Structure 1
Amino acid sequence: MEEEDAGMEEREMESDDDEEEEEEEEGMGVENSDEDDDESSEDEKENEAEIQRLEEQLSINAFDYNCHVDLIKLLKQEGELIRLRKARQKMSELFPLTEEIWLDWLKDEIRLTEDERNREKVYELFEKAVKDYICPDIWLEYAQYSIGGMGSPGGIDKVRSIFERAVTAVGLHMTKGQTVWEAYREFENAILSTVQPPPGRIPSREEQELLNTQLERIHTLFRRQLAIPLMDMETTYAEYEEWSEHGVSEMVIHQYKKALQQMEKCRPFEESLLVAEPPKLAEYQTYLEFELKEGDPARIQITFERTLAENCLVPDMWAKYTAYLDRQLKIKDLVLSTHERAVRNCPWTMGLWKSYLLATERHGADHQIISDIFEKALNAGFIQATDYVEIWQAYLDYLRRRVDFSKESSKELEELRGAFSRSLDYMKQDVEERFGESGDPSCIIMQIWARIEALHCKNMQKARELWDNIMTKGNAKYANMWLEYYNLERSYGDSAHCRKALHRAVQCTSDYPEHVCEVLLTFERVEGSLEDWDVAVQKTETRLNRINEQRAKVAEKEANLARQEEERAEQRRKTKSDKKAQKKIQKGSQFGEKRKAEPEDHQDEWNEDSEQAPKRHRGNGDQTTEYMETETGLFGKSAPPGYKPGPPAAKKVQLGVAAAVQRQNDDKPELRNDNCSVFISNLAYTLEEPEAKLRTLFEPCGPITQIRPIFSNKGNFKGYGYVQFESQVSVPEALKLDRLEVEGRPMFVSPCVDKNKNPDFKVFKYNTSMEKHKIFISGLPFSCTKEQLEEMCKSHGTIKEVRLVTYRSGKPKGLAYVEFANETQASQAVLKMDGMEIEGNKISVAISNPPRRSVMDKPGASRLTTDMPRQVYGSRGRGRTQLSLLPRSLHRQSGPTNKVENGTTADQVPTTASSTVNTAAETKALSNSDFARMLLNK
């Protein structure tokens, strides 16, 4: 009683002190307290407004993850415990929660739940938490919380049960599993202390058995832990040596060393995870590859779980994990729970829902469960229309497998038909409204339905109704759709409907009418009468004639458009060249004025001995006309009196030996013979000793007279040249080397033909009209070889030639031409191969129809279709930097002429400076002084 009275007095004194402190605070800081209250009330109002805004936003879009997180933080900050609990529950129903969110929620609930009767609610919450992710910290918290209830009936067994589940789930975690094992041993050690007799007292038989049993439990935990590769397992082994009275057995040592070796193998991966930045996906993938090679299912599973705990929004990782469980472990509870977690984390991924449906069917789940999963998938919000088609196909396949078609009617069959009908309505109403497209343009679902009705239900009338519906949805123009329907009638229908389908196909098909016409004629050959044959021939001929007329009109229209585009391009080039010429003329005029202003003495500063020095000739006046000597004489058409060109040897020193050899060959036209020559091009500019290389390549074709590689003025090889043989017989052999690879580039070999003398010579090697026996393939992977393509196509017919299209450098374009023995084989290849995937590339296949070349109607005419034919120059062409130094007065003169350089004639030559000079020279000879006056005329 005295102690109680003393305690009461002490509490009263403390209360008096508190009251004095409160009075003192009120007397000294009333204003500050009011300000704090105002600020806190303002913050509360702002937080409440933000909470209401977040709740309103979630009512509109419940799948806003970040909005859920922000709302939970604000409610926890405000202490709104009831609203906080509801917010967390709502979020957990829609999303799996992270480890941090779960631990925060669990700790709050543990503090709030003091009553023993409410512990079951916390246990239920823990059970939800451990299902979202495999997290060691959550399991450890679960086990430690259960220890608090060990005093209740069956409490110790429940704690052991939770610990066993924990070590099974996360005991293999390389870095965090050790903490769970240690907590389990501490619990068993605590139990051991309760069963040990007091010191000095001999235990009874029952007590000794209980003691031995508890000691064995601890021994077993040590042995189990040491058999698992965990970080810092050496410390655990030392602890076991110290704890065990009889030492460590050889079997335990053996298992420990084996686990230690495994741990050393995994150490580099664990260290890379420690230093990597989240989410560490690349490091985890490398770790997974290692574990998959090792092949330990338990370690593979824990590695997947660790990866997904930090990469929960990576659908490919979930797909890889679920596929491993489906094919390797095949444990029902584990497989289905993992599939459920996958779709909760990545609900937008159709592939995960499809795998989930298959897994539930594979493990014999109830029909209602599978149907509920499918309905959830429809509401998941896929990102493309085709995803809905695929998930419907998966569900319809499941329903079809449930039907016993030996019965004429059944509940399952009616459910299947109802699901097919519902899927079509869903595609039309929901998918098309959302995406603006059906997602099933080829009506695959209806095709499957029609085939089921024909094959299993023997209901051809329903199948025909479905195909009529398919054709009305824009598929009547495709040959493959009609042939699919024809094959269905061929298999399950009758000849009359087969004939009717083919007649409709001939009238409607626009992509491959030749093929359906051929199928109709083949059908009548086998089953039709003479009258049927005549009708088929008449219909096919009429249809093909109409098709050819339409194609001709389209081709003509395309040619006109191409011609117009070429004309516009040429006009742009002409305008650009005119501007350049005008600038050159202006620059030449400025140069003349500058020379006129220079003193007379400076004109003698040129080195008269240099071949590059300008030759001067003084006319009748005081002006001086200058001429620049080139390899063909003086620049210009008229040379001054008494001019003699310098020796060619002086040129060789400046331009280089290679260019000089080329000029020597050019100066000997009598040695050339185009009939015995071939033109070589597309060689590498860096080709060393091109003449020797070409001789090595072409000597097997026959005796060689000369080889003329072409060099630039600087002596660099220009990548082309000529090879002349002694006999014309060698030319066809040389042409066989066309596109031979030379130092990584295809060498082009073509006949050496003067196009001016042979206007009918066709430059383009390949046909430009439709080739019905040949197919064109695009979208090929660049790694595809000729042999692979031939192997791919040979199942559709006899292959005559395969040609891969490449750039001039030899790199592939992803295009190819394949020539078959006849048109039927080519059409069949198009139908079978179009849309096929090769190494991840979706290829397109069509009948070869090369575009028309933009050329004039006249054979051999110039490619440029403009009103001004291009200027004809000499055999060496016009220099790139050649300037027109003629006076502007000559440019103003005009007159037609047919005379051009080198004695070559043309139908029409444009009125240019060179042609005007020739005309002026024919009418009246001009002196040098006349030229000087015109040059200085402004």
Structure 2
Amino acid sequence: SSPLSINAFDYNCHVDLIKLLKQEGELFRLRKARQKMSELFPLTEEIWLDWLKDEIRLTEEEPNREKVYELFERAVKDYICPDIWLEYAQYSIGGMGSPGGIDRVRSIFERAVTAVGLHMTKGQMVWEAYREFENAILSTTQLERIHTLFRRQLAIPLMDMEGTYAEYEEWSEHGVPETVVHQYKKAVQQMEKCKPFEEALMVAETPKLAEYQAYIDFELKEGDPARIQITFERALSENCLVPDMWAKYTTYLDRQLKFKDLVLSTHERAVRNCPWTMGLWKSYLLALERHGADHQTVSDVFEKALNAGFIQATDYVEIWQAYLDYLRRRVDFKSSKELEELRAAFSRSLDYMKHDVEERFGESGDPSCIIMQIWARIEALHCKNMQKARELWDSIMTKGNAKYANMWLEYYNLERSYGDSIHCRKALHRAVQCTSDYPEHVCEVLLSFERVEGSLEDWDFAVQKTETRLNRINEQRAKAAEKEANLARQEDERAEQRRKAKVEKKAQKKVQKGTRAGEKRKAEQDDYQDEWNEDAGEIDSLPAPPATKKAPQGAAASAPSAHRQNEDNPELRNDNSSVFVSNLAYTLEEPEAKLRTLFETCGPIKQIRPIFTGKGSFRGYGYIQFESPVSVPEALKLDRRDVEGRPVFVSPCVDKNKNPDFKVFKYNTMMEKHKIFISGLPFSCTKEQLAEISKNHGTVKEVRLVTYRSGKPKGLAYVEFADETQASQAVLKMDGIEVEGNKISVAISNPPRRNTIDKPGSSRPTGDAMPRQVYGARGKGRTQLSMLPRSLHRQSVPAGKVENGSAADGEPASAAGNAAGEPKQLSNSDFAKMLLNM
């Protein structure tokens, strides 16, 4: 079966099928395949030219020129391509002998020079072809036509226009008229201004986005509409999947040119190229309304938008809002037909949010029920139907909004404007009862209302109600504060107990020092190891967690500020050449040999120092010191490499006491448009499988499966593509496909920002600093929360506590002992004493 039966929207799949059929010479199946592809996607210049040439060959056997003309008409609409226009004009010359043939050729040439005659680098060939055609059918009466063509071309800035001028001088028997010389000089000046932009395009690598952007900005300042248009078209022929470029172009056409056919056809091409971009559909709907499109057309475009596959829940809310706005504007509230249609659309939008959006994204996209609020206002203002408005507000409040003061005040204001004082009072009493964010404010509004409108009885009741509520709120706040203080005190006590235990343990170890560890290692290593364990901060809190414990994502934190004993011996201490390795299994046999095997490809190793407990068992972390700092970046690339079924964390060795601002969170927390985030993968899915699935949509640079510390997969992954266009395509094509029976979700990578997270388990950002939609396509789900290091979730880390191998900032900076556990340097008198005691 054809791969297209699996996914008809896979662009590359269509391209491969067409190549295959062309190789096999299956001309009729090839025609069908191209037809199918052109219905779903705009085709590139290369694909159109191939198709057109094949069709021209086919029609030589069964003459049907009209069919080819129709195909050319479709081809020139997808992108503005000089080569296609030239091919079209030259093909039409072949039909010159038929009735009206010459007029048809001229008409096509005229449209071609209008469309691409201003193209700085390729426009010239269209003008020349037009002149050659007129020359070929030359008669005395038509000399003037060629003069006119020369004059028109010479008035336009084109590269190498000097050659055309010289040709005209030679061709014209009476010399070049003064007016033509004047126009030509103006065009040359303009060409000189454009030359730097053209030269920048010549040397730039595809897709030349920045160079085109600069060129467009220049043309927008110059203000010639035809030149602005051709520059946009040239940019889009190479950047057809860049939504921002289409948005900039359509905005220009909407606000400046305003020609209906041009505006609407460009909007249609924009959504055809970037269907996943809600903003393009929204501006298309507005443009259709602006230019008086019939209702059926607008509705059809809206339905297409709903099926376009947007990547976040809020996009669906916004497109529905745009359509509902349009429906409201066409309603004559004195007649019932359009009003019923508007109400039906509002009702359908709420149903759509509930059953389609929430099920797909796991969130509504409209937590404040903006659509319902607008519907309620329309019912109140235009239809004088307060009963319906109240029903809607009742529904809004039951969706978790009753705790917010601003929601109650919004409803109260609606009642003030279109309702009555009974319902105003009722709303404010309920607000006082339910509001938990700003209770004082709603209490104040109730009292102000009764001052103006209420009886004494109403006033007394309001005072009593507000006092009762505020007393209760204050009690709750006092309890919460007390609980917090108790927790802080308990934490301080625990820290003090840990400190005492540590001191006692240290004293014990000094007594037992050397004996047990000597059974495990050579005496020299034993001395070094005990010095490390005693004086480097003990690092009790850093055991690699058991397999069940939830681990943070991202690189392990920096080495503990332990490693400090090296300060006594600068020769041994060299953080610049070292890395800290953690999350190895406690049960790892011969850790030194394993670490050597893993890191020897990074460069010559000076020493490997796995860390052991006093009893000789491996602690799950250690240090690698290289001969040269150049090996460190190579070693850091091995972060998360699998070692006996666990991801090993590799991070720089940094003394945090000297570098308190050092940050170790490796992975980006901003939106990464060239990277996609995949959830819902089967746990059995491997990197190779995922790379294989993803490579159909672009160049895969890296695949990262997210795992727990134990190595167990989470069913999540990140795939990095060569650019954001490929990533956008991958989202569109991969979201919702099945992998080994699991339906996966795919979105542009957009982890939540670190500074907005409250606590583990929190699902709301703190304050209003960040709008909901910054969390990306799927909201702020658990999977994205788990991408943060645990240290970022905590309000404070107790002194001495170590996170992921980095000592807490508050740990004392001094530590006895030196770097590699060598005996401390001896003075002359120390040596004298040793000699005397021998």
Task: Return the TM-score normalized by structure 1.
Answer: 0.55
| 1:138-537 matched pairs, under 5 angstroms | 138-192=84-138, 195=139, 211-212=140-141, 214-405=142-333, 407=334, 409-537=335-463
- Separation in structure 2 between the aligned mates of residue 377 and residue 105 of structure 1, nearest angstrom: 29
Shift of 1:580: 6.3
Shifted more, 394-403 versus 260-269: the winner is: 260-269
Compared CA separation, residues 546 and 176, structure 1 to 2 (3 A): same
- Counterpart of 1:802? none
- Any conservation in 2 of the 1:570–1:864 contact (CA below 8 Å)? no
1:99 to 45, 52, 67: 45
| 1:817-832 matched pairs, under 5 angstroms | none
- Separation in structure 1 between the aligned mates of residue 200 and residue 30 of structure 2, nearest angstrom: 39
- Counterpart of 2:718? none
Compared CA separation, residues 316 and 864, structure 1 to 2 (3 A): closer
Compared CA separation, residues 553 and 113, structure 1 to 2 (3 A): same
* Structure 2 residue matching 1:114: 3-state secondary structure: helix
1:110 to 29, 33, 56: 56
- Separation in structure 2 between the aligned mates of residue 102 and residue 419 of structure 1, nearest angstrom: 40
1:538 to 464, 468, 471: 464
- Separation in structure 1 between the aligned mates of residue 280 and residue 391 of structure 2, nearest angstrom: 34
Residues 727-781 of structure 1: CA distance to partner in whole angstroms, max 9, x if unpaired?
xxxxxxxxxxxxxxxxxxxxxxxxxxxxxxxxxxxxxxxxxxxxxxxxxxxxxxx
- Separation in structure 2 between the aligned mates of residue 577 and residue 302 of structure 1, nearest angstrom: 78
Shift of 1:563: 2.4
Residue identity in the other structure for 1:526: V
- Any conservation in 2 of the 1:506–1:517 contact (CA below 8 Å)? yes
- Separation in structure 2 between the aligned mates of residue 492 and residue 306 of structure 1, nearest angstrom: 54
* Structure 1 residue matching 2:137: 3-state secondary structure: helix
2:478 to 552, 567, 574: 552
Shift of 1:558: 2.0
Compared CA separation, residues 153 and 879, structure 1 to 2 (3 A): closer
Shift of 1:566: 2.9
- Counterpart of 2:568? none
Compared CA separation, residues 500 and 252, structure 1 to 2 (3 A): same
Residues 461-485 of structure 1: CA distance to partner in whole angstroms, max 9, x if unpaired?
1111111111111111111111110
2:83 to 137, 148, 154: 137
- Separation in structure 1 between the aligned mates of residue 799 and residue 15 of structure 2, nearest angstrom: 69
Residue identity in the other structure for 1:182: E
Shift of 1:246: 0.5
Shift of 1:53: 3.7
Shift of 1:134: 0.3
Shift of 1:568: 3.2
Residue identity in the other structure for 2:40: L
Shift of 1:167: 0.5
- Any conservation in 1 of the 2:376–2:390 contact (CA below 8 Å)? yes
* Structure 1 residue matching 2:364: 3-state secondary structure: coil
Unaligned runs of 5+ in 2: 514-753, 757-766, 777-794, 801-811, 818-832
Residues 810-842 of structure 1: CA distance to partner in whole angstroms, max 9, x if unpaired?
xxx999xxxxxxxxxxxxxxxxx95698xx999
- Any conservation in 2 of the 1:396–1:416 contact (CA below 8 Å)? yes
- Separation in structure 1 between the aligned mates of residue 507 and residue 177 of structure 2, nearest angstrom: 101
- Separation in structure 1 between the aligned mates of residue 470 and residue 452 of structure 2, nearest angstrom: 22
- Separation in structure 2 between the aligned mates of residue 420 and residue 97 of structure 1, nearest angstrom: 37
Shift of 1:570: 3.7
Shift of 1:569: 3.4
Compared CA separation, residues 585 and 233, structure 1 to 2 (3 A): farther
Compared CA separation, residues 499 and 173, structure 1 to 2 (3 A): same
Shifted more, 553-562 versus 426-435: the winner is: 553-562
- Any conservation in 2 of the 1:174–1:230 contact (CA below 8 Å)? yes
- Separation in structure 1 between the aligned mates of residue 482 and residue 78 of structure 2, nearest angstrom: 67
- Separation in structure 1 between the aligned mates of residue 186 and residue 501 of structure 2, nearest angstrom: 84
Shift of 1:292: 1.4
- Separation in structure 1 between the aligned mates of residue 11 and residue 156 of structure 2, nearest angstrom: 38
Determine whether 1:569 maps to 2:495: yes
Shift of 1:412: 1.1
Compared CA separation, residues 282 and 814, structure 1 to 2 (3 A): same
- Any conservation in 2 of the 1:386–1:439 contact (CA below 8 Å)? yes
- Separation in structure 2 between the aligned mates of residue 354 and residue 138 of structure 1, nearest angstrom: 31
* Structure 1 residue matching 2:190: 3-state secondary structure: helix
- Separation in structure 2 between the aligned mates of residue 414 and residue 320 of structure 1, nearest angstrom: 36
Compared CA separation, residues 561 and 147, structure 1 to 2 (3 A): same
- Separation in structure 1 between the aligned mates of residue 241 and residue 501 of structure 2, nearest angstrom: 59
Residues 385-413 of structure 1: CA distance to partner in whole angstroms, max 9, x if unpaired?
111110110011111111122x1x32111
- Separation in structure 1 between the aligned mates of residue 222 and residue 341 of structure 2, nearest angstrom: 47
- Separation in structure 2 between the aligned mates of residue 880 and residue 176 of structure 1, nearest angstrom: 72
Count of equivalent residues: 543
- Counterpart of 1:56? 5
- Separation in structure 2 between the aligned mates of residue 100 and residue 354 of structure 1, nearest angstrom: 31
| 1:738-753 matched pairs, under 5 angstroms | none
- Counterpart of 2:555? none
- Separation in structure 2 between the aligned mates of residue 383 and residue 355 of structure 1, nearest angstrom: 18
- Separation in structure 2 between the aligned mates of residue 573 and residue 311 of structure 1, nearest angstrom: 62
- Separation in structure 1 between the aligned mates of residue 816 and residue 47 of structure 2, nearest angstrom: 80
- Separation in structure 2 between the aligned mates of residue 879 and residue 478 of structure 1, nearest angstrom: 47
Residue identity in the other structure for 2:262: L
* Structure 2 residue matching 1:149: 3-state secondary structure: coil
